[in-house]
């Protein structure tokens, strides 16, 4: 296998940008949803939120499985001590936040006693409103964590471009 690949595969790029596109709609959708009065429109928006969220859950699992069996481009040489570690930590934390936000949303709905459509099968379990509340708290906390991590991630790309004069974006685009 080539040890010096400089590009992410088309597969990684495709799912990276799909996740990005879904999230820029999904995060505001969540904030709009919780501020709405009960109505048919609210139910439709919640259904969309759930479908988009479960899609991100599957996409994240597929990305991680693919990452495990394939090779990612090596991080660029250090410009300062610990730079690679920070980049790695940011990527790992992003994956953890994506899995946490999606599973907490799923568990909140399931412990509410609602039937969930996972596309290939449906699931319903006994309700437990205490647990549903706790998973909703996890959902809210992981949402703010995700927003912070995405902001740092984008700032890191800008930092590379502006201060280190490295176009790392081309690894994820071209």
Binding mask 107-126 for ligand HEM (x = CB under 6 A): -xx-----------------
Please say which residue, 16 or 134, places its beta carbon nearer to ligand HEM.
Answer: 16
Hey, which bits of 125-168 come out as E strands? none
Binder among 5, 45, 96, 150 for ligand HEM (CB under 6 A): 150
> CB of 41: closest distance to ligand HEM in angstroms?
13
| Residue 145 found at the interface with ligand HEM (CB under 6 A) | no
φ and ψ at residue 117, rounded to 5 degrees? -95, 110
Please say which residue, 7 or 81, places its beta carbon nearer to ligand HEM.
Answer: 7
| Residue 148 found at the interface with ligand HEM (CB under 6 A) | no
> CB of 39: closest distance to ligand HEM in angstroms?
12
Q: Is 89 in contact with 110 (CB distance < 8 Å)?
A: no
- For 149, other C-beta atoms within 10 Å of its C-beta total 20
Helix (H, G, I), strand (E, B) or coil at 116: strand
What b/e sequence results for 120-134 when a residue is b if at least 16 CB atoms lie within 10 Å of its CB, and e otherwise? Answer: eeeeeeeeeeeebee
Name every residue whose Cβ is closer than 8 Å to that of residue 96 and which is 6 or more positions away in sequence: none
CA–CA separation, 108 vs 133, rounded Å?
7
Task: List interacting residues with ligand HEM (CB under 6 A).
Answer: 16, 19-20, 23, 26-27, 30-31, 33-34, 46, 49-50, 53-54, 56-57, 67, 72-73, 75, 87, 91, 94-95, 101-102, 105-106, 108-109, 139-140, 143, 150, 153-154, 157, 168-169, 171-172
């Amino acid at each position: 296998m080539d040890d010096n690949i400089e590009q992410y595969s088309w597969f990684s790029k495709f799912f990276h940008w799909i996740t990005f596109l879904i999230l820029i709609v999904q995060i505001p959708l969540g904030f709009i949803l919780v501020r709405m009065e009960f109505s048919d429109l609210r139910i439709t928006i919640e259904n969309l939120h759930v479908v988009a969220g479960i899609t991100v859950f599957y996409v994240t699992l597929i990305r991680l499985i693919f990452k495990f069996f394939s090779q990612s481009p090596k991080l660029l040489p250090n410009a300062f001590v610990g730079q690679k570690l920070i980049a790695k930590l940011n990527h790992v934390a992003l994956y953890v936040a994506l899995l946490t936000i999606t599973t907490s949303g799923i568990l909140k709905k399931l412990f509410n006693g609602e039937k969930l459509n996972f596309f290939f099968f449906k699931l319903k379990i006994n309700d437990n409103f205490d647990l549903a509340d706790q998973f909703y708290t996890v959902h809210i906390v992981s949402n703010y964590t995700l927003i912070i991590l995405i902001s740092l991630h984008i700032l890191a790309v800008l930092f590379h471009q502006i201060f280190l004069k490295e176009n790392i974006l081309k690894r994820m685009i071209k």
